[in-house]
Amino acid sequence: MRTQVAIIGAGPAGLLLSQLLMKSGIETIVLERRSREYVLSRIRAGVIESGAVDLLDKAGVGDRLHREGHVHDGCNLAYDQQMLRIDFKSLCGDHVVVYGQTEITRDLYDAQDALGANIIHGVDDVEIIGADTDSPYVTFKHDGQDKRIDCDFVAGCDGFHGVSRQTIPDSVRSEFEKIYPFGWLGVLSETPPVNDELIYASGPRGFALASMRSPVLSRHYIQVPLNEKVENWSDDAFWDEYRKRLPQSAAEALVTGPSIEKSIAPLRSFVSEPMKWGRLFLCGDAAHIVPPTGAKGLNLAASDVFYLWRAMSAHYNDKDGALIDRYGEDALARVWQAMRFSWWMTRLMHLFPDDPAFDQRIPAVEFAHLQNSETARRNLAENYVGLPY
Ligand code: RFL
Ligand code: PHB
């Protein structure tokens, strides 16, 4: 087989890249380890920056998002029962849209089907060969047979556990990592949200987040120790703890019900550099992970895809290779901004019980500063809604 761009991974990064490239007249083949049903069953992000919405519109997959997604002009921080609204609209004239990653993935699959995309599911043993030469290729197993795709470029969109990043030799690659001493226990339930906007709550029992997908579908998270097991959390135990961590008005509004998904995700900050090695380009979680507190994971995958699509369009359609050479620098500049913000918001809102007493005093004064200073709130708002591409 031969194509122009071989894409490893059919998560949001891989599917969106394939969709944008195909619409620009560039050929792709997407290789995905899992089945389509599995990819579509993953419950993940829910807050979409308006820059990512614009990109989904450019890809021709924004219609359902505009119909069914919910525009949020603000969010709330609660600190020991005190609520502070961050009014995105008045502070920076922008908003975010609440629309599940699962729905975005479904919209992308539908759009890719309509374009006749070649997405091969259930592949094993993917290897990227010759990425530092002019004739790279990808080998893999499918239906028990060895296969090979020759291509111009390889896009590594295969998430944190994929093979693409490992293809870059250790001598070239630098990794920057911070592991946090807790995870998020998340529950999805067919119940109305406790509030019409998100509430990020910090208090003596730890962090909680009240989020949502729709007026009848809610997403809830609590901070739990890193070694916690999901089996130890019955629905009742979750709701009891969650209620205790929410501000009173939200706790009173809480409607509980059976969980339809429950899982624990560890929190980490991670960046691998470079994001371009020869003809291999990393996009999304393959190159970086943020703790979910700033809602940036999926949004960063989208901005990487934007830079790569722009670069490849210039290369194929305008015969201009300058943006291809700069892809890594362009993407990483925005990645590090989101790293800083996600780390800062994680420090602000969570308990770090093993930190020195000095460090533990800082979040309360940060919160007081946010309450007293419009400049501080604007800083938060501008980062939360997403820095420009
Ligand atoms: P994905 O979504 O992980 O997709 C990568 C795809 O590559 C496939 N794959 C391979 N395919 C072929 N060969 C291989 N060797 C392969 N190895 C892997 C995988 O099966 C998969 O289909 O990465 P992508 O596209 O970069 O998208 C990034 C986002 O998914 C991610 O940033 C966010 O979902 C992060 N994230 C969250 N972000 C938020 O903003 N808010 C959240 O609430 C939130 N919750 C989460 C999350 C990520 C989680 N993960 C990864 C464990 C909750 C979880 C559980
Ligand atoms: C979610 O709804 O899953 C969500 C929202 C905001 C975050 C993280 C996750 O910061």
Q: Where are the domains of the chain?
A: 5-72+97-177+268-346, 180-267+351-385
- The reported pTM is 0.97
Q: How far apart are CA 371 and CA 83, in angstroms?
A: 9
Do you know the residue count of the chain?
389
Decide whether any atom of ligand 2 lies within 6 Å of the 219 Cβ.
yes
Residue 166 has a CB neighbour count (10 Å cut-off) of: 14
Q: Under CATH, to which class is 180-267+351-385 assigned?
A: alpha beta
280 band by pLDDT with thresholds 50, 70 and 90 = very high
Which tokens in the block code for residue 327?
């892809």
Q: How far apart are CA 81 and CA 251, in angstroms?
A: 11
User: For position 330, what pLDDT does the model report?
Assistant: 97
> Which residues are catalytically annotated?
72, 200, 292, 296, 384
Q: How far apart are CA 199 and CA 242, in angstroms?
A: 12
Cα of 242 from ligand 1 centre, angstroms: 26
Side chain identity, residue 149: I
Q: Are 101 and 144 in contact (CB under 8 A)?
A: no
User: For position 81, what pLDDT does the model report?
Assistant: 87
The CATH number of domain 5-72+97-177+268-346 is 3.40.640.10: no
Closest atom of ligand 2 to CA, residue 212: 2
Q: How far apart are CA 137 and CA 133, in angstroms?
A: 10
CA dihedral 47, 52, 53, 56 (to 10 degrees): -120
Residue 223 has pLDDT above 90, yes or no: yes
Read off the pLDDT of residues 51-85 as tens digits, 9 standing for 90 and up: 999 999 999 999 999 999 999 999 999 998 899 99
**Sign, Cα dihedral of 159, 182, 292, 108:** positive
Decide whether any atom of ligand 1 lies within 6 Å of the 159 Cβ.
yes
User: For position 45, what pLDDT does the model report?
Assistant: 86
Choose the residue to mutate in 221, 296, 380 for probing ligand 2, maximizing ligand atoms within 8 Å of C-beta.
221
Provide the 8-state DSSP code for 92: H
State the DSSP string of 106-129. Answer: HHHHHHHHHHT--EEES-EEEEEE
Residues whose CB falls within 8 Å of the CB of residue 374, separated by 6 or more in sequence, listed in order: 91
Read off the pLDDT of residues 22-51 as tens digits, 9 standing for 90 and up: 999 999 999 999 999 999 998 888 999 999
